[in-house]
Chains A and B, each alone.
Chain A
């Protein structure tokens, strides 16, 4: 009986977790409005065609750091809060602002800014948490805010302090919100389908009046005035640069609704896409789900011949959004890591094997996410900081699995789970900046170099982190527990050595390939750019470790301590150099990122100090 349990429990556990994952893949049933279907509509934003669902999620992430909108933020964490999906929120912002403007969607963290704008403080009775505010609360204080904003915009990004950054952030949030609001209809629209029809009917008379006015003849002043009113409203919808929601129709590329409306007097007729959006808007405002769903269906049907591909790609991306592979993989990594760590203490083979099976599952989900993203983007795995975190986690997990296969002592599992978990958390925070599938700037628009240089360098990062993580395991187990026996210590040191060799190869080749790319694109192999230097330091550091080892200058413990140094230099190259705000690779950064980097470096230095403790202080080495 016990044997059967030992044999079958690990796969069974994995099976349960796999079921949990598949269970989450099902789309939630919708009662009335087909918002999920609305989320599948293609739209051009941030330079690429994407589903409304992605636009909604990324916008909400930028506004309030969540992919769902929680409507009662003043409630405590243990109370049940009403919430709606990102796409339901976006549909209302675009087409039913009367409702959406009352939702607490702006997150303002800086207390000085909250009090300056006289926004409500934390007060349960007044239904405010002092952090999340609605457009209806922000709008009356816009004047006071703009005064602050004008001051801040005059200061360069890196020179701003925390308050000024908060102002600039709120400015970005307001701009984003205004853009979304102006995507489908003018800001002041009450009954958009009726207004659109009226405008269409009115255009010939208006054009006649405008022509007469220009020619200096007698003209219909009333009509002319009304016409300028329309034009002004539509110009707003063009100048604020909202997403381009109208698909190509024969002669025209993706357009903004505002531009299309401005084209009507120039003789370009209102097309079905414009009408369908207006119908959806009217139905949503009138709370009529049937009409909304019918209009949505009509619009989708009209997309099929010409835009079938865009629609299919949109659907695929919506599925990816709902799958949340990286979030789900994170949960399984945590579980697997805990099981593997426990296995060290009671040396239970069942626990270790369970961890292996779970790591396998998490790795499969992680891989699905990585590959799915690559297919959606049509790019190699790493295109920006976000995807580098995903890839480093993936590579480290793979290395951990290989180590586990050879050594079967749970260490590989902990490496996989630990680095997988940490990097996915980092990725989650990097995603707060907005669209993670952004388009590549001109010089980066080359799949060849992205596939070679970038992949090699990030593999170098991943393996250096694996060596460093192994070293952390060595020190923690050695100093704080009695589980580091001689054999385990030796095998850990051997793993570290092997991984450092591997890291040297990849970081060296990756760094030189980067130089060759630079030579190809502007004729300079090496320019001492901060990111280049960061990569060079990793290469030098790994080479230093290898030479120290070959020369016998360091042995087992020296190797361990040096490998932790690898964590520091890699984190410096990955994030630190971007914070200098100089050079070609400076992508901007947040305060939080700087804080966490410093904390990480200090923690690694603390581990170095622990590693240097005399042997008699190590619990494992005390006789």
Chain B
């Protein structure tokens, strides 16, 4: 009896209608909230969520309770599948509707799979640079390298007050601060500066301070941590590790930023100071360490040969971005040049490389900077599902629609 009730609930059109109505409300609220919470914040709060509690709209907190994206998606999927099984008849009469609904199922399942399986990375390199790995766009790692072994600690473990011990490391890491987003300033010599965070390494020459996390997709969080390193006998003092120093692209950006203020020579020196490796020595081993984006290694490498950025004549409106890269893979003995441009990605080795931002063109060259290019790298095993789903739904609706139309027209003709 109960089972029957549940089945009839899950096959009912009333449930479909209710879920669709809630979906509309959720998408609307989740869109408005982006102005306050940012795209990623809103995604996590409303769409990649089971239950939504409260919303931030127009700068105000609004108390409300809504089913989240996951819940609605799952229920819609269950509703669709149940109804499909129950009402499925192999007749030409309903084939359009059934095809369309099957297509929606493919789309929903595909998106769910994408959500769990897809990985977004990036490659940020200057002309002439070779990369055998991609960087994570959101996740960072603290890396210790003693020349033989590399120990990578995910930044998610770097919580303030945490104490981390690793068998491969001869010392303990105490996390004194962890800022998900931060800012840095050069400490000009011969000037009265505020006291530095610590006198070790880069902190002697740069000031770091926390910043609120960014909300828009155009900006990027740059994390910084203050660590105390100590073994049983002695302490190695406090050290600042920062993505400012860990990512060559950011170091380059800082250098470019200082060129105008202090000249090319000085800017290069500042960048050199920032990128200078930090290390401690203990037990006859020297550990260099840095905080940088998480890396995914590939069995092949890409070298940026040329970054081209063209604009429409007499304007700054970008006309075209393209990167010429050399693809080398020793296992397949491949060595070829590829051109990646907007709307023309490179699909290779299960990853897809898309042209993203670019620092190149006349202005960059006149400023004496080396052109660089950022490629978005995506791994998404279920990338084909939207294509299939779209064809199914489109075809299904067209069949159904044509049938209606033909019936309607012939009926009017008879009159």
Query: Which residues of A line the B interface, CB within 8 A?
Result: 44-48, 241, 243-244, 253-254, 256, 406, 438-439, 441-443, 445-446, 449, 498, 501-502, 504-505, 508-509, 512-513, 515-517, 519-530, 533-534, 536-537, 540-541, 543-544, 547-548, 550-551, 553, 569, 577, 580-583
Contact = CB atoms under 8 A, between A and B. Distances in A.
B312 A445 contact: no
A543 to B, nearest CB: 6
**Dominant SS among interface residues on chain B:** helix
Contacts of A244: 313-314
Given A505-B398, A544-B20, 6 more contacts: A439-B317, A521-B342, A529-B39, A533-B28, A543-B20, A553-B14
Contact of B20 (A46, A512, A517, A547): A547
A509 B394 contact: yes
9 contacts: A44-B314, A256-B314, A406-B412, A438-B317, A445-B320, A445-B342, A509-B390, A522-B378, A583-B34
B398 to A, nearest CB: 7
B31 A580 contact: yes
Interface string B378-396: 1010010011011001100
B200 interface: no
Interface in B385-415: 386-387, 389-390, 393-394, 397-398, 400-401, 404-405, 408-409, 412
Contact of A515 (B314, B386, B401, B412): B386
Shortest 8 CB-CB contacts between residues of A and residues of B: A47-B312, A523-B378, A551-B13, A512-B390, A505-B397, A47-B315, A544-B20, A533-B31
A533 B32 CA distance: 10
B315 A442 contact: no
A76 B178 CA distance: 68
A537 B28 CA distance: 8
Contacts of A516: 386-387, 390
A537 B400 CA distance: 22
A445 B107 contact: no
Interface string B29-49: 011101100010011000100
A504 B397 contact: yes
Contacts of B314: 44-45, 47, 241, 243-244, 254, 256
A528 B30 contact: yes
Given A501-B401, A508-B394, A525-B383, A580 B315 contact: no
Contacts of B389: 512
B172 interface: no
A543 B21 CA distance: 10
A537 B17 CA distance: 14
Contacts of A530: 31, 34
Given A530-B34, A537-B27, A580-B35, A442 B319 contact: yes
A498 B408 contact: yes
Contact of A525 (B21, B27, B114, B393): B114
Contacts of B39: 527-529, 582-583
Nearest to A569: B24
A12 to B, nearest CB: 29
B313 A253 contact: yes
Contact of B318 (A441, A512, A536, A547): A441
A526 B378 contact: no
Nearest to B20: A544
A519 B32 CA distance: 24
Nearest to A511: B390
Contacts of B23: 540
Contact of A528 (B17, B42, B342, B352): B42
A523 B376 contact: yes
Contacts of B14: 551, 553
B30 A533 contact: yes
A528 B114 CA distance: 14
A243 to B, nearest CB: 7
Contact of A443 (B27, B342, B352): B342
Interface in B298-354: 311-315, 317-321, 342-343, 345, 352, 354
B114 to A, nearest CB: 7
B20 A505 contact: no
Contacts of A548: 17
A551 B17 contact: yes
B27 A533 contact: yes
B111 interface: yes
Nearest to B216: A582
A354 to B, nearest CB: 24
Interface in B87-113: 107, 111
A540 B408 CA distance: 25
A377 B216 CA distance: 33
Contacts of B352: 523
B47 A528 contact: yes
B313 A47 contact: yes
Given A439-B319, A516-B390, A540 B343 contact: no
Contacts of B177: none
Nearest to A509: B394
Contacts of A256: 314
A545 B354 CA distance: 39
The residue among B34, B352, B405 with the most chain A CB atoms within 10 A of its own CB is: B34
Contacts of B405: 498
Contacts of A583: 34, 39
A297 to B, nearest CB: 27
Contacts of B401: 501-502, 505
B376 A540 contact: no
B356 interface: yes
A553 B15 CA distance: 12
Contacts of A550: 13
Contacts of A513: 390
A525 B24 CA distance: 20
Given A244-B313, A526-B111, A519 B386 contact: yes
B16 interface: yes
